[in-house]
Each structure stands twice: as C-alpha cells, then as structure tokens.
Amino acid sequence: MKMHVLMLPIILLCASCLEDESVVNKEDSMKPNTEKSTHENGGIDKTSTEYRFTSSSTVADVISNPVFKDFGYLLFHVDLNLSRSMTLADISSPNVYIWYSHIQPEKTVEIINRLYSDAVEGNQIFYRMYSDAEIAADPSKANTGLFLFRGEVGKPFAITNAGGGFMYVGAMHDSFPHSLEISNAGFNAFALIYRPDDPYSDLAKAIEFIHDNASELGVKTDDYSLWGGSAGARMSAVLGNQAYLQQLTDRTDIPQASAVIMQYTGYTQASQYDAPTYVCVGSNDGIASWRTMQNRLQRLSAMGIPTEFHVYEGLGHGFGLGQGTVADGWINDALKFWQTNMKTNEKGKNGNSYRNFSRASD
C-alpha cells in the first residue's frame, strides 16, 4: 500500500526549539592539525605499550593521538569555542556543554579510553557517511560521521543523537555515554555527529549508510532504534516516523525504527506513522515541559502506538544518563522497551497501552 508522505513542516526547524536562546561564535580551532601537545601532564603514559587517557589529558592529547587519525577533533564539539589546552576534566562541565547537567569527568575519560582501546585492537571506530565527492561539493559534510561502539556481531543497532539546541552537538554527554551503555548491553550503537544546520538530512544519511553497509558493519538491519536528547530527540522522533523516513531518504526499502527513545524535548507532533516511543524527562525542566511530553505520548497511545513515560522529580534539563540522580538506571528501562517492541521478539509485548511509571508534582 502506498503511504501518503507528509511534508516536513517549518515547526521542526531550529526556530521552533526552546533550546535556541543564545548566540555562539564559531571558530576553526577544533579542525585537525599536526601540532603536538605541550601539556606536561597529558595523562598518557607514553612509555606504555597501551596509552591510557586520564582526566588530566588535554583535548590536544586526544586529537593528536594517531589512533584517532583525522577525525579526533569530532570527538569534541566543533561549533562552539573550545581550547585544545583544556583537560578532559575541564571540558566535563555545563560551562562547556550548554544546557547540560550532571556531567561526569570519569565518564568522559571512560568513553575516550573505550574508543581508543577498540581502535588499538584493530576495530574501525569512525565512519564517514558522505563520499569524498560529496564532501568536496559541500565541505561542511566533512564535520559529520558515525562513532561506532561495538556490541555483538549481528545484533540490532541504535543511533544516538545528542542535543545542543541545533547550535552544537553535545555528544560527549548526550550520545557517547548512551552508546557506551547500549554496546555494553550487547547491541551496536552509532553516535551521530551531525551538522546543526542540517540535522535531519544527516540522520537520514546515517540510517541509509548503516542499512546499505550492514554486512560490513556487522549489524542487523531490522529492529534498530533511534535515541536522542533535546534537539537530538526531535531528530529521532522525525526519522522514527515512517512517512518522514521515506520522505527524507527517498526510499521505501528501509524499515521503520522499532523504537524511539526520547529525553527532554518539547516535540508535539503525533501521527499514526510514529514508532513506539519511550520518554524520560525531569519535573523541573525549564526548557522541555514534562506535561507536553506526556500529552504527546497519550495521543500516540490513543492511536494504538506503544509508549512508556517517566518523569523524575526535581531533575532539570540535560541530565544524560542521570547517574547519581533519581533517574539513574533509566537507560535499562529504555533498553527493555526497545527489546519489547522488536518485531523479532514477540515475548513480553506491552501492547498498545500507555505506561506511566513516575509521578511529578504539580
């Protein structure tokens, strides 16, 4: 049956995001270069056969390490000013990752070391989605790509999309940690580095790239999920909609996501073409109202789409994994929701009911 394809409305553009409230200067300081770090306590034991980064390692130490080749700069956001002399402890701060809270230096260090170890073991950890010809025609596409946190070969994959108000990509706090935990659960996770001014096109390209190269990547094409926080959650909701997926990829052979996992965003559109949706948000979020998110899920549920909703008392915007907070462990609930809604997993289906597991004060 031919599906009616909806036109992507203007409301999805950056102007609709409550997060876009400040002006940020852009610079080229994060582009690759051949400079060596002069930081005396770089945090890397260069006498060891296996380098390891610590909280005192600098951004320059990471970027200049050979294992990160010409893409190391994309581990850090390129759309806001960020000094290469800052340490991993320095950058793990709401002053660097605007709109984010509960950023943990030890998680930043764990992420860098995980990717480093994977690369040292001979695994490819970064994939460019666009060809050399496409990048030559549009150089901005060079600042995109997928960091792969490997799970088990042949398992379904997730694409995680960080927020940042469509002004920058806060991957170190809002998608890398999620990808790390998803891979630890056995699934494959791709953290998307996208262009803030063309996010939907880049996510569509990422889905196409993974689908077309699934065999080489070692992932299953069915039952994938889309994850996102804030602006990234909007991206996931849009590409999780079957009509928008077909419109933005111009393809009908790519299956719809089995689940969309959303954190803290005020996205309001709901249609019969949306995927099963999990939501978590803080009751004190001044950017994304929990009531707005709850209302959307209730509408989806009324259409027969499985949903699950969690609101965490006292939390604000951008809590990420929420470790050490009342939201700690939410990602395990989200993983269960994804598995429940996999088409190849018929056990434990939650049906079409709206599931509200948490309370918030009025």
pLDDT score at 236: 98
Locate 356 and state its tokens: 């509200």
Per 3-state DSSP, the chain is made up of helix, strand and coil in percentages (nearest 5) of 35, 15, 50
CB 29 within 8 A of CB 84: yes
CB 318 within 8 A of CB 173: yes
DSSP 235: H
Q: Which amino acid is at 292?
A: T
Q: Which residue ranges make up each domain of the chain? A: 124-356
The Cα–Cα gap between 271 and 253 comes to 21
Find where tokens 């094409």 sit. 221
pLDDT score at 63: 95
Torsion, Cα 74 77 82 86, to 10 degrees, reads -70
Q: What does the pLDDT average to over 134-144?
A: 97
Greater confidence (30 vs 101) lies with 101
Task: Work out whether strand 145-149 and strand 307-312 pair parallel, antiparallel, or are unpaired.
Answer: unpaired
Tell me which of 3.40.50.740, 3.40.50.800, 3.20.20.80, 3.40.50.1820 is the CATH number of domain 124-356. Answer: 3.40.50.1820
pLDDT score at 355: 55
Tens-digit pLDDT profile for residues 158-193: 999 999 989 999 998 999 999 999 999 999 999 999
Start-end of H helices in the chain: 59-64, 88-91, 105-120, 132-137, 171-174, 176-184, 199-212, 214-217, 231-240, 242-249, 290-302, 330-340
pLDDT greater than 60 at residue 247: yes
pLDDT score at 260: 98
pLDDT band at 101 (very low <50, low <70, confident <90, very high): confident
Using CA atoms, how far residue 309 sits from 233, 239, 256, 258, 298, in Å, is 14, 20, 21, 17, 9
> Could you tell me what percent of the chain has a pLDDT over 90?
71
pLDDT band at 111 (very low <50, low <70, confident <90, very high): very high
Locate 114 and state its tokens: 């995980």
pLDDT score at 149: 98
Q: What does the pLDDT average to over 189-214?
A: 98
The Cα–Cα gap between 56 and 105 comes to 10
pLDDT score at 16: 37
pLDDT greater than 90 at residue 42: no
Quick one: CA dihedral 335, 345, 297, 17, positive or negative?
positive
Check: pTM over 0.95? Answer yes or no.
no
Average predicted confidence (pLDDT) for the chain: 84
Main-chain phi, psi angles of 312, to 5 degrees: -110, 120
pLDDT band at 49 (very low <50, low <70, confident <90, very high): very low
Tens-digit pLDDT profile for residues 253-307: 999 999 999 999 999 999 999 999 999 999 999 999 999 999 999 999 999 999 9
pLDDT score at 239: 98
Tens-digit pLDDT profile for residues 307-354: 999 999 999 998 999 999 999 999 999 999 999 999 885 343 344 444
pLDDT score at 270: 97
> Could you tell me what percent of the chain has a pLDDT over 70?
81
Q: What does the pLDDT average to over 186-213?
A: 98
Contacts of 336 (CB under 8 A, 6+ apart): none
Q: Nearest CA to 53 among 115, 102, 96?
A: 115
